Structure 1
Amino acid sequence: MKKFITGAASIFILDVYFNASAHFISNGAAQFICLLLFFPIASYIAKINGLDGLKGIGLRLDQKSLKYFTASFIMGFGAWAIMYAIYWRLGKFEIIGIKSGMDAVMTLVFVAVGFLLGSLINDLITRGLIINLLKGKLAPIYLAGISIFVYAADDFWNGGLTVMNFVFSMILGLSLTYSFLKTGSIWADTGIHFGLNTAFGLLYGLNGKEGGGILVINKGNIDFVLNNMIVLTFAALLFAVSYIYYRGKSIEKKRENNVAEAI
């Protein structure tokens, strides 16, 4: 019971720290420092729970990390780029220009750094920590279910806890969680997460508003039901692609105790 309480408190503390830093600190430099401080804090909390620091929650750099990250980034970015192209054709938004010079460079830097840190930290909490805390105590299907549920519920920080957002996050969570379970590497799911966030950021920037990205856009109109059907369909297609790619992968069996093979 003590381990359960410690684990639950650890997840809560890291989640609140991350989201408070991301959403309630307006100064960019202070926010960046707080996000960087997450990593030593997470390492310490992981060790309290008997894990091997950041390595114990999936943050390792090995010969496969770049391969996983690159492949996953292509999946996430590619799927969302196609989705936004369809939205554009259907009139959800209108492209009226593109930023240039230092404005474009700074937008790219903020999008890349902000979304990489945000994606990585969210993945470490909702997958790396949760799954490694429960590994060996529950069947893999339950590990995945709990991780996906927490990820979807946590989305209220970003888009509000609506039924649509919850369902979307549950479906998207399938890709992120499966890739992590099959590889044991946080880079596999962060690549997907960062890829789709980058596609979003090119249009809407870090603030999520028209005009915030590299492409200068005006808001258009699209049927509400059609809009939801498209994003849910692409979330499902992304899972299909990640499943096909990662189903043949296997984590180091001695290190991960064959967790993924039961999926």
Structure 2
Amino acid sequence: MHSAHSHAPSAASVDSPVVSRPLGVRLLWMGVGFAVMDVYLNVPNFVQLAPVAWLGLYAAFFPLAHAVGRWTGAGGLGALGLAPHRGWARNLGLGFVFCSALWALKYVVLWALGAFQIEGARPAGEISGLVLQAALAMLLSSATDDVLVRGYLVRHLSGVLSAGALVAFTTFVYVINHAWYVHLTLESSLYLGLLGVMFSLALVRTGSLWLSIGLHWGGNVVYRLYDGFDAQGGVLRRVMLPEAPWHEGVKLAMTALTLAALFLLFRFTEKSEREGPLFARG
């Protein structure tokens, strides 16, 4: 099983000045940079954008993150977890297949237990368009979120916090950051918390974002194929039955099962050869 290094990275292994600044200054710059990128990513919550403009805005996030990362002393996109390494594509693909399969299983279980009925499928032309839109849009959405909430924060804090503390902190930020567009309830916070732990563990275990992005991407694609965009519906025509209290329990249980199964997936993933802050200590 591939695992992260257990020692704290030395200054010699870091290719940016992030570790040479006083801690208070580092945290200040980290916070300012995070705020800039976070507000940028949430522009669609306040301004109505056409799909092409939305995709362009998210694609432009990557040069912004590169610039902000260098400006705050964390380094560019490679230092934030997007540097290619041996097995990076394998990690991305494994994460996508793993999470999409388990998310599909979750919806099959909900259907089998009577959460909804299936009346048919959308026309083939609409399905192909939805698949393409879901694949591209969710790749950008997943990758931007992982760079911001995990790669950027872990890069700044891994010389300060242990691996467990990094997972806890980035998970907390991930949950709270959904308040931009999700009404946080106990159930939704637990669900997001399980996801946050899963994505953060993928980063600290492999030393890069590729596995995390694959997991995130796979789950989001299946969700969009199930639910569609802007209440337009997914690939199947569904009739939702009255909501039962156990529905949320099933969703949480399947997400927890996915998190537990992740430790088996780690046996088949590759660890980045890159030494430095994306390998958390402890």
Structure 1 residue 34 and structure 2 residue 54: aligned?
no
**Higher Cα Rg, which structure:** 2
User: What does 1:141-180 correspond to in 2, within 5 Å?
Assistant: 141-180=164-203
Give, in whole Å, the separation in 1 of the partners of 2:278 and 2:133.
Answer: 38
Q: Secondary structure at the match of 1:51?
A: coil
User: What's the TM-score, normalizing by structure 2?
Assistant: 0.85
Q: Does the 8 Å contact 2:83/2:208 carry over to 1?
A: yes
Deviation at 1:86, TM superposition (A): 1.0
Q: Does the 8 Å contact 2:88/2:270 carry over to 1?
A: no
- After superposition, the CA RMSD in angstroms is 2.0
Structure 1: state its 5+ residue gaps.
none
Percent of aligned positions that are identical: 24
Structure 1 residue 230 and structure 2 residue 250: aligned?
yes
Q: Structure 1 residues 149, 258: closer, same or farther in 2, change over 3 A?
A: closer
User: What does 1:107-256 correspond to in 2, within 5 Å?
Assistant: 107-207=130-230, 209=231, 211-224=232-245, 226-246=246-266, 251-252=271-272, 255-256=275-276
Q: Does the 8 Å contact 1:110/1:206 carry over to 2?
A: no
Give, in whole Å, the separation in 1 of the partners of 2:110 and 2:160.
Answer: 43
Q: Structure 1 residues 143, 2: closer, same or farther in 2, change over 3 A?
A: same
Runs (4 or more) in structure 1 with deviation over 6 Å come to none
Q: Secondary structure at the match of 2:31?
A: helix
Structure 1 residue 86 and structure 2 residue 109: aligned?
yes
**Greater share of residues in helix:** 1
Structure 2: state its 5+ residue gaps.
1-23
Structure 1 residue 62 and structure 2 residue 82: aligned?
no
User: Can you list the C-alpha shifts for 1:162-193, whole angstroms capped at 9, x where unaligned?
Assistant: 22211111112111110111112211011111
User: What's the TM-score, normalizing by structure 1?
Assistant: 0.91
Deviation at 1:60, TM superposition (A): 2.2
Aligned length: 259
Deviation at 1:23, TM superposition (A): 6.2
Q: Secondary structure at the match of 1:58?
A: helix
Q: Structure 1 residues 164, 64: closer, same or farther in 2, change over 3 A?
A: same
Deviation at 1:66, TM superposition (A): 1.2
Give, in whole Å, the separation in 1 of the partners of 2:271 and 2:167.
Answer: 16
Deviation at 1:260, TM superposition (A): 4.9
- Counterpart of 2:73 in structure 1 is 50
